[in-house]
Amino acid sequence: MKTRLSAIAPAGLTLTLVVLILGGADELRCDEFTREDLVRWQQEYISVVNRGDVLFHGGLGNHNTVSCDQCHPNAANTHPETYPKFQQQLGKVVALGEMINWCIMNPLESGPLALDDPDLIALQAYILHERRGVGLAAGRH
Amino acid sequence: MRMNRRQFLKAGGALLAAGALPVSVVEASFGRARPENFTFAYISDSHITHLKGSEFVRNWDRGLIRAISECNLLTPRPDFILYGGDLAQLGMPEEIDHALDLMGGLRGKVHYVMGEHDYYLDLGDHWRKRLGPDHYSFDHKGVHFVVLNSILTYDPWTHGPWDTPMARMKAMARLDNPKGSPFMVGAAQRQWLRQDLDRVNRRTPVVVVSHSPLQRIFKGWNFWTEDAEEIQALLKRFKKATVLYGHVHQIQYNQIGNISFHAVMATAWPWPYPSSYAQAESHLPKLTIEMNRADPFFERDATGWQLINLHTGKVDMHYLLPENRNRSVVFDHRLKRPIDQRYRSGADRIPPQIHF
């Protein structure tokens, strides 16, 4: 009996959540965000992804004109889900942004971006957006 | 004529000598009555990029210069060299001229293929002015070679409302452009090909050379030729048919009916396999054992050149790859398809290269 209850409880909880999200969100004020909030946040996110898309495809203005997509069409083979990881060529654990900077400094022959530079955030947003659905694998080589 | 173990080892010895060289060598022996073995080298996809004045992107220049200088060291000399397309990045006369200046240092006759990066600025005018027709055929030691311009596309796209020719060039130069347009050989060239092949005996080995794969692999990156099946149909009656192509910057091989397919490496940079793009489905031939992902810290990693051996009537591709084990993908007459000499699929598998 106990087992059955515990099996039913999560199902019931899920149902409640579905009802809350789909129908009852306006009446229940336990979470202070609305459907409009979600839409706006998604728009903010996508606008940064789109900015990253432009930067990734030749928008960085580097002198030698080499662009990220020349080696990484659709940001493929960037495996962002594996960062932070030990980057054996750098001899330490690095974040995705640091590896992007390596590319900007070497094949692109330009200067690194600050790790909180909106352009670097945008590049990471685009790269991760193209990798959505892939499981996290931090540290994996 | 089938390559026996002794012959293979002999060829292998020559390859070992060439092993330090990042060049692809192709060996073919096709002739019917008196087969004459010969090899040719294959260089492709250099993407020479003009910046300003006499300044070009160093990395891409170095790739082509290295391929040329190492190709010049091949002994015995390849009978000729094929250049697989994309001399230039944005089709500019400065780029094509500079690339051809570099190619001038190559010893031997070169046959050129048109790539989309050579074409979409001026629709191939400067390229043709320097190099002649973009589709042609020639015979060599009993083998019939055909070079096609396979990077044409639908007229409305080509002649569409572009602000400038450079806008069109840049749209096609972007591999992952969702507003791109699929490559094709087109009706006029297919008609020419039909007539060209009509005069060729079905026992004559045929090698068709194109920039894009004459098979449909991944449309998103134009690893694709829209009318591939129609070209394949024209090759169906030949006992030995092979298609060699550039564009994909990676090792690929396949067998469709009687036709063997081999891709060649780029001198400029490698491309990922379509399977590494999580948002789309790839149709990479199941036969192909993928290369390792490239190490970006080594500038020439996963680029390369080919030496091609035509001694069996089918192509043996020898990929000479800096910083990677060289690979040989050869036609297996028992299995009737190309196999990698080291990396196999299924039960035969010797540890494959890993792609993550």
Q: Where are the domains of chain B?
A: 5-348
B51 close to A (CB below 8 A): yes
Instruction: Give how far Cα B277 sits from Cα of A78, B175, B184, B355, Å.
Output: 10, 13, 24, 12
For the whole model, what pTM was predicted? 0.84
Instruction: Give how far Cα B28 sits from Cα of B14, B205, B244, B323, B337, Å.
Output: 15, 9, 13, 27, 15
B221 close to A (CB below 8 A): yes
Residue B184 β-bridge partners: B152
E runs forming strands in A1-141: 85-87, 92-94
Q: Smallest Cα–Cα separation from B250: which of B230, B282, B272?
A: B272
Across the interface, whether the CB atoms of B297 and A69 are under 8 A apart is answered no
Instruction: Return the H-helix or E-strand segment holding B241.
Output: strand B241-245
Tokens found for residue B323: 């910083």
Mean pLDDT value of segment B317-339: 82
Query: Which ranges of chain A have pLDDT less than 70?
Result: 1-31
Residue B244 β-bridge partners: B209, B262
Across the interface, whether the CB atoms of B278 and A64 are under 8 A apart is answered no
Instruction: Return the H-helix or E-strand segment holding B143.
Output: strand B143-147
CATH number for the B5-348 domain, one of 3.60.21.10, 1.20.120.140, 3.30.70.20, 3.40.605.10?
3.60.21.10
Nearest CB among A63, A72, A133 relative to B278 is that of: A133
Interface predicted TM-score (ipTM) over 0.90:
no
B63 close to A (CB below 8 A): no
Least confident of A115-124, B27-36, B158-167, B281-290: B27-36
The Cα–Cα gap between A102 and A15 comes to: 47
The Cα–Cα gap between A43 and A135 comes to: 24
Q: At what angle do helices B187-198 and B228-235 cross, to 10 degrees?
A: 10
Tokens found for residue B288: 């192909």
Which of B4-8, B59-63, B329-333 is most confident? B59-63
Q: Are strands B80-83 and B316-320 parallel, antiparallel or unpaired?
A: unpaired
Mean pLDDT value of segment B245-265: 94
